[in-house]
Amino acid sequence: MKTLRELIAEGVAGRRVLVRADLNVPLDGDRITDDGRVRASVPTIKALSDAGARVVVAAHLGRPKGEPDPAFSLAPVAARLGELLGAEVALAQDVVGESAKAVVGALSDGGVALLENIRFDARETAKVDAEREALAHDLAALADVFVSDGFGVVHRKQASVYDVAKKLPAYVGGLVEAELAVLRKLTDDLARPYVVVLGGAKVSDKLGVIANLLTKVDRLLIGGGMAYTFLKAQGHEVGGSLLQEDQLDQVKGFLTEAEKRGVELVLPVDVLAATGFAADAEHDVVATDAIPADRMGLDIGPASRELFASKLADAATVFWNGPMGVFEFEAFSGGTRAVAEALVKSEAFTVVGGGDSAAAVRALGLPEDGFSHISTGGGASLEFLEGKELPGIKVLES
């Protein structure tokens, strides 16, 4: 892959550089509640701007239905990006239409413009190659060079990620390059013991990565909503907790495979069992073999927090993806905090695998520099660790 450093060394002054960034941030109305991805995009954009490039940024926000929707406008992102860059970021009112052409045409050397939400154009995510390629053609008309710097989308075969890289000279951005270097340390150059902590809602979202990790890890810790399917597979009552009945056979297979391979698979030993899914729900600490039928587990309990911390204490490498409970509710954030704090204290190479885990670190006020790396792409990280080919990376290598 050709790198951002090589591009800047070649000279970019006056050239239009299309940067695919990942600016998919959570919003409360028009207020950004976690600007981590915007901050992560700044170094590449600033490097190009400082070198005199005319920077055209493409990104998505949320899941609009292939047409303009004010609720998903990138206007708040343009404002925040401008604050971080210390310069105005012009926002086009469309993706590749007359406004985009005018805004890009008005850029001076070092200027930065943001196209409106790329998913306002249905061709971005089209399954038909020709439709995506048509949008890629329109995007390429706005630029001279392409830089892929949205790690959170490189596992998607989409017009602004994959197809446009075949129509313009393509380079890997600094963020994507750094993410790949970290993930390769988790696959090619492991320091052991290697411990993986998985949480989040659904075990079905992580079937492939669990199957692959069982061939590589020394210890696998399972928390969050997905833990209840494992507990049910062991024959425990889980009450109204999140449960995927259709995954029980698969999970029983994981338990058997872990034992066969000598992988220590660690499950919670107690949970906070609540009367309902609410921030102020009444709850008690109960053992995982004694969850009442009329309660639901919303977090791992204090004994589980100590257990998980002890299983992380001697690790040399740790990958964590997925919260241990409903961390958005203060009463049920303790498990996620305990895992995060154990990683901060650890001397291991610690990677937070994006998504809700990264959001939790910031929401809980934990020091980001307490971790070796916080990824911007949960889905991309998991697919890489699953051993899948990432289209947005493959196209840069060809």
Spell out the SS3 assignment of 71-131.
HHCCHHHHHHHHHHHCCCEEECCCCCCHHHHHHHHCCCCCCEEECCCHHHCHHHHCCCHHH
Q: Is 181-386 in the same CATH topology as 4-173?
A: yes
Determine if residue 354 is labeled as part of a ligand binding site: yes
Q: 365 an active-site residue?
A: no
Determine if residue 124 is labeled as part of a ligand binding site: no
Sorted by where each begins, the domain ranges of the chain are 4-173, 181-386
The CATH class of 4-173 is: alpha beta
- Within 8 A by CB and 6+ apart from 34, the residues are 25, 26, 359, 362, 363
Of these residues, 157, 202, 216, 362, which one is catalytic? 202
Q: 105 an active-site residue?
A: no
Determine if residue 325 is labeled as part of a ligand binding site: no
Of these residues, 111, 200, 379, 392, which one is catalytic? 379
Quote the pLDDT of residue 19.
Answer: 98
Quote the pLDDT of residue 356.
Answer: 82
Q: 208 an active-site residue?
A: no
Determine if residue 262 is labeled as part of a ligand binding site: no
Query: Which amino acid, one-letter code, is at 12?
Result: V
- Which token pair is 82? 């401008």
CA distances from 394 to 77, 102, 134, 157 (A): 29, 33, 20, 10
Determine if residue 16 is labeled as part of a ligand binding site: no
Residue among 111, 171, 177, 109 at smallest CA distance from 146: 171
Determine if residue 63 is labeled as part of a ligand binding site: yes
Helices (H), 187-243: 207-213, 227-233
pTM of the predicted protein model? 0.91
**Considering just the CA atoms, what is the radius of gyration of the chain in Å?**
22
Determine if residue 22 is labeled as part of a ligand binding site: yes
Determine if residue 355 is labeled as part of a ligand binding site: yes
Strands (E), 159-279: 170-172, 194-198, 219-222, 264-266, 270-274
Of these residues, 111, 174, 355, 378, which one is catalytic? 355
Quickly name the fold that domain 181-386 has. Answer: Rossmann fold (3.40.50)
- Within 8 A by CB and 6+ apart from 182, the residues are 351, 372, 373, 375
Residue among 230, 297, 295 at smallest CA distance from 257: 230
- In terms of Cβ atoms closer than 10 Å to its own Cβ (0-12, 13-18, 19+), residue 160 is buried
Quote the pLDDT of residue 202.
Answer: 84
Q: Is 242 helix (H, G, I), strand (E, B) or coil?
A: coil
Determine if residue 23 is labeled as part of a ligand binding site: yes
Long-range contacts, 127-134 (Cβ 8 Å, 24+): 129/163, 132/157, 132/158, 132/159, 132/162, 132/163, 133/159, 133/163
Determine if residue 62 is labeled as part of a ligand binding site: yes
Determine if residue 225 is labeled as part of a ligand binding site: no
Quote the pLDDT of residue 203.
Answer: 86
| Positions in the chain whose pLDDT score sits under 70 | none
CA distances from 320 to 60, 186, 370 (A): 25, 12, 14
Of these residues, 16, 37, 80, 132, which one is catalytic? 37
Q: 379 an active-site residue?
A: yes
Which tens digits make up the pLDDT trace of 263-295? 999 999 999 999 999 999 999 999 999 999 999
Which tens digits make up the pLDDT trace of 353-390? 877 888 888 888 888 899 999 998 888 999 998 889 99
Determine if residue 328 is labeled as part of a ligand binding site: yes
Quote the pLDDT of residue 398.
Answer: 78
Alpha carbon dihedral 343, 186, 34, 103, in 10-degree steps, equals 160
For residues 221 and 308, the answer to whether their CB atoms sit within 8 Å is yes
Quote the CA–CA distance of 150 and 25 in Å, as a whole number. 13
